[in-house]
Chain A
Amino acid sequence: MANGAKLTSKSHKGSPMMRQYEALLLTVPEITGDEAKHLETQLDKAIKTGTGSTISFERWGKYRLAYEINKSDYGVFFLMRFELPQGTKTVADIKTLLKVKLNNVVMRDMISVLDPKHPLTYQRPRSLEEAPAREADSFSKDAKMPGFFSMDDRDEIDED
């Protein structure tokens, strides 16, 4: 038992065993580039104080939310992956940082431990920025409603 506990807390080389984490952040839709950068640096600082390192910081884009949060239907998602040594209280500190200091920017957050057996690739829903914009005219053609939006056809109907 003691041997097993030793293995989990420390690696063979003597350095502390690292654990990978993932934080999904839902921020306000009006977030600017500077604010996003500030968010990243604040989190990076907190991770570095816990002798960890940031693996990635991704911006997913703007999304329409499933329900209204803080009177807004939209939100911007960020995914951050980082690693920290096992047994530190840094995760709790990061949670406090998100809930207290960055409260005006971050609406929701979820920090989870990554399973080392699982692949790092992931699927995510398509954001509003990636979705192809459809024109009103193409919509009317698809729905077999010619002349619903175009003014030329409307004139013809008036003449009849």
Chain B
Amino acid sequence: MTKKIKLKISARLVKKRSRRGNGNRSKMCRFCSDKEQVYGIDYKNATFLKGFLTERGKILPSRISGACARHQRVISQEIRKSRVMALLPYSGPAF
């Protein structure tokens, strides 16, 4: 007869540990790793900058865009310039 081993770790803790394993991977800024891509961050390149906006036209935070503080600043500055020229919206379509 096999003896039942009492689990000392709670399910919540197991979940937490697994999450830590996946999410602990350090995010690399893609603009830091590839200098060529930095030239793409331009207020004229609205199709590229559209990828850094939400559906409602808000600028994505750096924790989602994965950009470092320096490049996030460049992205948001260029998006704001692009908005002035009506290439990008200030706000998305109303529901």
Contacts and interface: CB of A to CB of B under 8 A. Distances in A.
Interface string A117-155: 011001111100000000000000000000000000000
A123 B83 CA distance: 17
Given A123-B47, A123-B48, A125-B47, A108 B86 contact: yes
Interface in B24-83: 39-40, 42-48, 81, 83
B43 A125 contact: no
Interface stretch (B1-9, B15-23, B87-95): B87-95
Contact of B42 (A69, A108, A122): A122
B14 interface: no
Contacts of A122: 42, 44-45
B86 A110 contact: no
Contact of A108 (B39, B46, B85, B90): B85
A119 B39 contact: yes
Contact of B85 (A110, A118, A123): A110
Q: How large is the interface on B (under 10, 10 to 19, 20 to 34, 35 or more residues)?
A: 10 to 19
Contact of B45 (A63, A108, A124): A124
A69 B88 CA distance: 13
Interface string A5-49: 000000000000000000010100000000000000000000000
A65 interface: yes
B43 A110 contact: yes
B84 A123 contact: no
Contacts of A24: 43-44, 85
B84 A65 contact: no
Q: How large is the interface on A (under 10, 10 to 19, 20 to 34, 35 or more residues)?
A: 20 to 34
B36 to A, nearest CB: 9
Contacts of A108: 84-86
Given A63-B87, A125-B46, A126-B47, 10 more contacts: A66-B83, A66-B87, A69-B86, A110-B43, A110-B81, A122-B44, A123-B40, A123-B42, A124-B46, A125-B47
Interface of A: 24, 26, 63, 65-67, 69, 75, 77, 79, 108, 110, 112, 118-119, 122-126
Interface of B: 39-40, 42-48, 81, 83-90
Q: Which 4 A-B pairs have the closest CB atoms?
A: A66-B89, A65-B86, A123-B45, A125-B46
8 contacts: A26-B85, A65-B86, A66-B90, A108-B84, A108-B86, A122-B42, A123-B45, A126-B47
